Chains A and B, each alone.
Chain A
Amino acid sequence: NAGVTQTPKFQVLKTGQSMTLQCAQDMNHNSMYWYRQDPGMGLRLIYYSASEGTTDKGEVPNGYNVSRLNKREFSLRLESAAPSQTSVYFCASREGTESFGSGTRLTVV
């Protein structure tokens, strides 16, 4: 039982490059989330998807896009990376109980 799987675990980007963070869950959860974690600021919600085919903005959506590809997968895309997007990104899914992935550490130089 893998739970929530995020890829990649680490990534270094140059300013202006694009990339997609992948997330998949095997628990048949309807709701999925993307958070970023910055020192001293806890987790902040970027986007969420309450069910397949729907997405909504969270607290800090600027500079990001998401796709709920199917019930299992929820990807986060940075179209033009900026140093301010250096962070640790967590994907989570929820249906009663909640599970988090182990995170993606992204550095934008």
Chain B
Amino acid sequence: GNSVTQMEGPVTLSEEAFLTINCTYTATGYPSLFWYVQYPGEGLQLLLKATKADDKGSNKGFEATYRKETTSFHLEKGSVQVSDSAVYFCALSPLYNFNKFYFGSGTKLNVKP
């Protein structure tokens, strides 16, 4: 079946620290992979995506590379800001049905000044 596993949080970092949030997946075939961000009291927003192996998605300083060999899509940012504090969700959309998204459990990031 399809599933997404994320590292548990919360993750607490100081401003300007390097961020990695791990995400691995199980899927049939080659799904599309996504990272979403949720700020307090709001819905999810698409942060970045990758649709095939070795693709790198990037946005707002965040990056993630679709690694088929390790079935991973880890989120990274070189220098986090307080404004990056949020919950981050990794998700996949199967090749055979783009309407069915499968989300990880979310990782809360706290960035301290």
Instruction: List residues of A (55-109) whose CB comes within 8 Å of B's CBs.
Output: 56, 58-59, 90, 92, 94, 97-103
Instruction: List residues of B (53-93) whose CB comes within 8 Å of A's CBs.
Output: 89, 91
**A40-B105, A42-B105, A43-B89 are known contacts. Are A102 and B100 too (CB-CB below 8 A)?**
no
Residues of A within 8 A of B4 (CB): 42
The distance in angstroms between the C-alpha atoms of A71 and B17, with both chains bound, is 45
B43 within 8 A of A: yes
The distance in angstroms between the C-alpha atoms of A98 and B91, with both chains bound, is 13
Residues of B within 8 A of A31 (CB): 99
With beta carbons under 8 angstroms apart, the residue of A40, A41, A48 that contacts B99 is A48
With beta carbons under 8 angstroms apart, the residue of B42, B46, B104 that contacts A42 is B104
**CB contacts between A and B, total, < 8 Å:** 47
Instruction: Name the interface size band of chain B.
Output: 10 to 19
Task: For the A-B complex with A48-B100, A56-B99, A90-B43 known, give 15 more contacts whose Cβ atoms are closer than 8 Å.
Answer: A4-B43, A40-B105, A42-B4, A42-B89, A42-B91, A42-B106, A43-B44, A43-B91, A43-B103, A50-B99, A58-B100, A59-B102, A99-B43, A100-B44, A102-B43
User: What 3 A-B pairs are tightest by C-beta distance, nearest first?
Assistant: A100-B43, A42-B103, A43-B103
B→A interface (CB under 8 Å)? 4, 41-46, 89, 91, 99-106
